[in-house]
Each structure stands twice: as structure tokens, then as C-alpha cells.
Amino acid sequence: MNKHILLVDDNAAIRYTVSFVLRKNGYRVSKAQNGQEALSMILESKRSNGNHFDLLLTDIQMPWMTGIELIDQLKEHHIDMPVLVISGIEDEMVVGKLLKRSDRDFLLKPFDFRELIKRVETLSGKNYEEKRMKVNGHARMRRRVRPVHSEC
């Protein structure tokens, strides 16, 4: 079964282009215009125990609910999913906070689509499941992820 990605961005052109690239690479994609809409979709999928999302791909700056607020809401609802943040804003404090967990990554806009697919594969695929395995009781394997500054 194809991995299911929830793409959240207030820019329609980005939603269209990124979803096109992801679908061409074999992913199922659902789209939301902001964090509030995305949170509703995630909570509904959790309630229905059906169409769950394997990865959240979100912008940071959006109206009504930012990507950071969305990630915080997921934590409040005890929803654990890998997150790839795409943003044109490179704030070291925000990026540092995002990357504290091993199941998150950051990609600066504009980005190369090959790099996007590489990051999505890492977060949504086998590598993510391996990172979640427990080692020595409660410790988890971690890897340091650094943002890549690539261009379209």
C-alpha cells in the first residue's frame, strides 16, 4: 500500500506542485490549506481508524493555525507521526526546536524536488520505523538531521 501524506500549505500553487511530484513518486496525498483544516483531518482519521497519515508535510507560516501550532496540537492529542516542515523562513530557533526529535526534518523553500522525495522516503519509510525501535529499555535511536539549502 502507498504511504499517505498530508500536505499543508496556504499557497495553492505549492500544494498543487508538491502533491503532483509526490503522486508521481507513488505517494497518496491529501491536502489542507492551513493547520486548523489539517488538524481536523488528522483527528477524523484517528477517530475512524481508517485512512491514517504516514507523514505530515507542512509549511510554518499559515493563517488561522501555523505549522508550529499544528505540531503542538498533535502532541496535545498524543498523535505521533513524522513531520517534514517546508518553509521559506529560516529561523534558527524554530528549526532547532523542530529538529529536537528524530522524526522531524526541515527543508528550506525553494527546494529541489529530488531532495524533497529523499526526505519524504526517509521519514515515511523503513528508516523511520527503525528509528522508533526501542534500544536498551526506553532509549531510542536518534540521528541528527540538518537542513539542506538546495534550490529549485
Q: pLDDT in tens for each of the 152 residues of the chain? A: 589 999 999 999 999 999 999 999 999 999 999 999 999 999 998 887 766 899 999 988 888 888 888 888 988 988 888 999 988 776 666 666 666 665 678 888 888 899 999 999 988 874 444 444 433 333 333 333 344 444 44
Spatial distance between the Cα atoms of 97 and 69, rounded to a whole number of angstroms: 13
pTM: 0.76
118 falls within a domain: yes
151 falls within a domain: no
The C-alpha cell 481536523 sits at: 40
129 falls within a domain: yes
149 falls within a domain: no
Spatial distance between the Cα atoms of 40 and 55, rounded to a whole number of angstroms: 15
Residues near 42 by beta carbon (within 8 Å), at least 6 away in sequence: 6, 53, 56, 74, 77, 79, 81
pLDDT of amino acid 84: 93
- Alpha helices (H) in 25-66, listed in sequence order: 35-48
Q: What CATH number does residue 52 fall under?
A: 3.40.50.2300
DSSP single-letter state for residue 26: T
Please answer whether residues 71 and 36 qualify as being in contact, where contact means their C-beta atoms are separated by less than 8 angstroms.
Answer: no
146 falls within a domain: no
Q: How many domains does the chain have?
A: 1
